[in-house]
Amino acid sequence: MKAVIMAGGKGTRLRPLTSHTPKPMVPLLNRPCMEYTIDLLKKHGITEIAVTLQYLPEAIRNEFGDGSRYGVSLVYFEETTPLGTAGSVKNCADFLDERFIVISGDTLTDIDLSAAVRFHEEKEALATLILTQVETPLEFGVVMTDENGLINRFLEKPTWAEVFSDMVNTGMYVFEPEVLSYIDNDREVDFSKEVFPYFLGEGKPMYGYAAEGYWSDIGSLEIYRQAQFDLLDGKVQLQIKAQEIAPRIFLESHVRIDSSVRLEGPVYIGENVHLQAGVAVGAYSILGSNTVVSSGTKLSQAIVWENTMVGKKTEIAGTTLCRNVQVGESVLLGEGAVIGDNCRLSSKSVVKAGVKIWPDKEIGESATVTTSLIYGTKQSKSLFGTNGIKGIGNVEVTPEFVTRLAASYAYLLRAGSRIALSACSHPFAQLLKHSIMTSLCSSGIDTVDFGIGNSPLMRYGVRSLQCVGGIHVYMAEPAEEKEIVIQFVDHEGLPVSRDMERKIENAYWQETYVRSLHHLGELHVEHQVQEAYLRALTERVDVASIQRQRFRLLIECEPRFMPAFLAPLFHSLGVSVQYGAIQEGVCKHGADLGIRLDKNGEQFALFSEHGEKLSPEQVLALQLLACSGIHNKIGLPVSAPMELEHLAQLLQLEVVRTKVAPRAMMEVASEERFHPMFDAVYSLLRLLSYLAKEEKPLSVLLALLPACHMEKKIVFCPWGSKGKVMRKMLEENKGKLLELVDGIKVYDANGWVLILPDTEDSHVKVISQGATAETAATLASSYAKRIAEYQ
């Protein structure tokens, strides 16, 4: 049996460790990560190994050669252009003439490969994916199997709302050679995105082997450190190639240690290390070959690569130092700091916690470094949430932040692309818009400034002016929280896809910018978008019937922009508007209905002529009524009641059930210029048009709407437990009618329950519908209790 080691990764999330070092060559206890993979294959009798290369290939070739030093035979296959995971394996096709294993060169694992192969044989599988359980499955492919191990659902890098299990794809596979026939030559093809979904759709025998044992994808600096601590603690059943001179104290050969040195296990000390008098090496410290630690220095949880010189009386706590680093006397290095290859830190310098210094930098004497040099710190969570990027104004979202963000976005665009920009009327939002504009233009991107606006206006303008995309900035409500939201839209005016969000995030974290004085973008100001939008709105309603009704409205909205923006529209329709707080009373003003518009013009609350506030389900039903005759297809979220689907069918509206994310609902009818569920003004006008046609007050229409009994609960759930909760929920409800469009929707005789992990907070939403309000409440409470128990 043969194997393929995937060793082409750049390891961008591990920078600066991987600035000069391919990810499989990053050392774990003074040995390249890939060496552990070779040892594991050899342990299971697999010695004929292909190695795929792309990034810094010579570093890997020079280290491992033909493999004879490790008791295996290595054959290298280098990619000149990226081929993806499947394309990389297909590139080795001439070598792979029998059953083979695919394994990553940058993971640490002791999983029993022989057991996985036996499982593969027993199932007569075409492909077997080796699976493991993890706390946070977002960065992996989540997999679900039946009781025989046959894979029946696969989702690559899900959001929390899509997580249906904590069982993930490890990137290790057992394949029959026939798998190669499904992969195109010389093209970028990915197993998770293309090959496995195809196998699933075609019913190919693709199985999942739930493995026991240790597995760690070395995907971040924190995980890189933890993997070595786990090796030292004996959690990984792999050989540590050093002498254990005392419990969990490992030394390689030719180590010189002064008699006054204090060692506190577990520690690992590489070949030719010299520890001078008075050095204290604390627990979980790892010293690479040829390192010298001068007298009086204190180390704790320090990871030091080879050929590093540490000066006297220095303190290193929780820091990672790469190769050939020179640390002066009395230097202080903080927790989580990373020092790149060939750096020089002069005497009495201080590097604060979390700071990352890229290779070949020099820090002056007595200097204090508080921010990363050249590249910034990776964020602790995704930039994007459900509805864009959010943060406290001038604290988390600053002009400096949006400048970097816009430059990251520009890196993904072609020079000369046109990007639309708008912001709400708040001065700080306008300031941020100008920072974004400057950054985009300096990166060679043309900008079109719409001035003051909202998201529906932005979406319309991007489509009308055929821009490549757009960015809208607004101050969210409630205003006292000072939360800024930044929304990105694509060329169709839809929120950008999750794939594009990831690309923006990666470019931001890596600070991959392109700027040149020879290619500056142009700035355009577009004053006509508002007029064009309002004109297009009136084309979608029966103006004459609205004018005949002489509607009176009470509108509560933000005071700076909306009243002036809406004035010409309502004037042309003969609608009288009073602006004020809804609590003053719709009846008091003699209004036909009351509307509370959200600041960004996307959502609204509705009140009848009697002052009765409509439920979200009633508003949704009215929106369906208002869409009839002008829309053919509409996206309804899985959280919407079943009665609305029946109503849509009566109205001859095609309904597509979608995720609750705005993009998912909008892209059902992406060709539409207006999206009723996310354009409050358009929805309001369509509703007025419908009321005028029916010549009935709103309260009469409400009485005709189907009754819906819904209940919503929010259950606290730590991030690390969400995957387990979803898996247990699936296991418990096996055999019931389930829907996995978004979260887990469970149907039973009494109604349905939707279990939806929140993408931004540590909780799970429970939404239920029942035949009665009591049934819905009982269902929601029952599942909320189970979620709490599963944790």
Q: How far apart are CA 791 and CA 402, in angstroms?
A: 38
Apex CA 638: angle with CA 635 and CA 644, to 5°? Answer: 65
* DSSP string over 430-445: HHHHHHHHHHHHHTT-
Q: How far apart are CA 494 and CA 487, in angstroms?
A: 10
The tokens for 519 are: 């290619």
> Are the beta carbons of 732 and 746 closer than 8 angstroms?
no
Kindly report the number of other CB atoms within 10 A of residue 665's CB atom: 24
> Are the beta carbons of 441 and 449 closer than 8 angstroms?
no
> Are the beta carbons of 99 and 176 closer than 8 angstroms?
yes
For 53: left if phi > 0, alpha if psi spans -120 to 50, otherwise beta; the answer is beta
Same fold, 384-526 and 709-790: no
pLDDT at residue 394 in the model: 84
Residue 747, φ and ψ in degrees, nearest 5: -100, 140
Residue 707, φ and ψ in degrees, nearest 5: -80, 135
CATH number of 242-369: 2.160.10.10
The tokens for 229 are: 């601590």
pLDDT at residue 312 in the model: 94
DSSP single-letter state for residue 541: S
pLDDT at residue 707 in the model: 84
pLDDT at residue 687 in the model: 94
389 band by pLDDT with thresholds 50, 70 and 90: very high
Tokens 């409470």 belong to residue: 781
pLDDT at residue 162 in the model: 67
Average per-residue pLDDT for the chain: 90
Q: How far apart are CA 696 and CA 257, in angstroms?
A: 92
The tokens for 520 are: 């500056």
Q: Which of the two residues, 372 and 461, has the higher pLDDT score?
A: 461
Query: Span 180-203, mean pLDDT?
Result: 90
Query: Span 611-640, mean pLDDT?
Result: 90
- 448: part of which helix (H) or strand (E)? strand 446-452
Q: How far apart are CA 198 and CA 208, in angstroms?
A: 16
pLDDT for residue 718 is more than 90: no
Q: Which of 728, 725, 755 is nearest to 739 (CA)?
A: 755
The tokens for 78 are: 């280098």
C-alpha distances in angstroms, 784 versus 161, 714, 753?
A: 16, 8, 10
Q: Which of the two residues, 112 and 762, has the higher pLDDT score?
A: 112
> Are the beta carbons of 150 and 120 closer than 8 angstroms?
no
Query: Span 56-70, mean pLDDT?
Result: 92
* DSSP string over 136-202: -GGGSEEEEE-TTSBEEEEEES--GGG---SEEEEEEEEE-GGGGGGS-TTS---IIIIIHHHHHHH
Apex CA 695: angle with CA 692 and CA 696, to 5°? Answer: 115
CATH number of 384-526: 3.40.120.10
CATH number of 2-217: 3.90.550.10
* 401 residue type, one letter: F
pLDDT at residue 180 in the model: 94
Q: How far apart are CA 338 and CA 323, in angstroms?
A: 12
The tokens for 87 are: 């394309």
DSSP single-letter state for residue 495: B
pLDDT for residue 249 is more than 90: yes
Sequence spans of domains, the chain: 2-217, 242-369, 384-526, 532-704, 709-790
pLDDT for residue 378 is more than 60: no
pLDDT at residue 163 in the model: 67
Residue 715, φ and ψ in degrees, nearest 5: -115, 125
Architecture of domain 709-790 in this structure: 2-Layer Sandwich (3.30)
Q: How far apart are CA 428 and CA 268, in angstroms?
A: 52
On the 0-12 / 13-18 / 19+ scale of CB atoms within 10 A, 465 is middle
pLDDT for residue 391 is more than 90: no
C-alpha distances in angstroms, 693 versus 104, 653, 687?
A: 65, 19, 10
Q: Which of 169, 78, 164 is nearest to 132 (CA)?
A: 169
pLDDT at residue 160 in the model: 67
Query: Span 439-461, mean pLDDT?
Result: 96
Q: How far apart are the first and last CA of the chain?
A: 42
pLDDT at residue 380 in the model: 39
**Domain 532-704, CATH 3.40.120.10 — does that match?**
yes
Q: Which of 557, 573, 517 is nearest to 689 (CA)?
A: 573
Q: How far apart are CA 91 and CA 71, in angstroms?
A: 24
**Residues 280-310: pLDDT tens digits?**
999 999 999 999 999 999 999 999 999 999 9
**Residues 537-591: pLDDT tens digits?**
999 999 999 999 999 999 999 888 999 999 999 999 999 999 998 887 888 888 9
Q: Which is it for strands 633-637 and 654-658: parallel, antiparallel or unpaired?
A: parallel
Q: In angstroms, how far is CA 275 from the centroid of its own chain?
A: 44
pLDDT at residue 381 in the model: 46
Apex CA 346: angle with CA 345 and CA 348, to 5°? Answer: 110
Query: Span 618-643, mean pLDDT?
Result: 90
Q: Which of 369, 44, 94, 353 is nearest to 211 (CA)?
A: 44
Kindly report the number of other CB atoms within 10 A of residue 100's CB atom: 25
- The sign one gets for the Cα dihedral 441, 447, 450, 454 is negative
Choose the most confident range, by mean pLDDT, from 135-139, 507-511, 648-652: 648-652
DSSP single-letter state for residue 306: S
Q: How many residues can be counted in the chain? A: 791
Query: Span 719-740, mean pLDDT?
Result: 87
Query: Span 268-283, mean pLDDT?
Result: 95
The tokens for 606 are: 């509705």
The tokens for 761 are: 């907070």
Compute, in degrees rounded to 10, the torsion defined by CA atoms 528, 532, 534, 535.
140
- To the nearest 10 degrees (0 to 180), the angle between helices 399-411 and 498-510 is 110
DSSP single-letter state for residue 430: H
Percent of the chain with pLDDT over 70: 97
DSSP single-letter state for residue 386: T
Q: How far apart are CA 277 and CA 261, in angstroms?
A: 6
Contacts of 659 (CB under 8 A, 6+ apart): 161, 162, 637, 638, 665, 741, 742
The tokens for 621 are: 């039903």
**Residues 403-418: pLDDT tens digits?**
999 999 999 999 899 9
Kindly report the number of other CB atoms within 10 A of residue 478's CB atom: 8
The tokens for 249 are: 């104290």
pLDDT at residue 479 in the model: 52
Contacts of 748 (CB under 8 A, 6+ apart): 736, 737
751 band by pLDDT with thresholds 50, 70 and 90: very high
pLDDT at residue 107 in the model: 93
Query: Span 456-472, mean pLDDT?
Result: 96
pLDDT at residue 116 in the model: 96
Query: Span 747-751, mean pLDDT?
Result: 89
pTM: 0.64
Contacts of 479 (CB under 8 A, 6+ apart): none
Kindly report the number of other CB atoms within 10 A of residue 145's CB atom: 20
pLDDT for residue 376 is more than 70: no
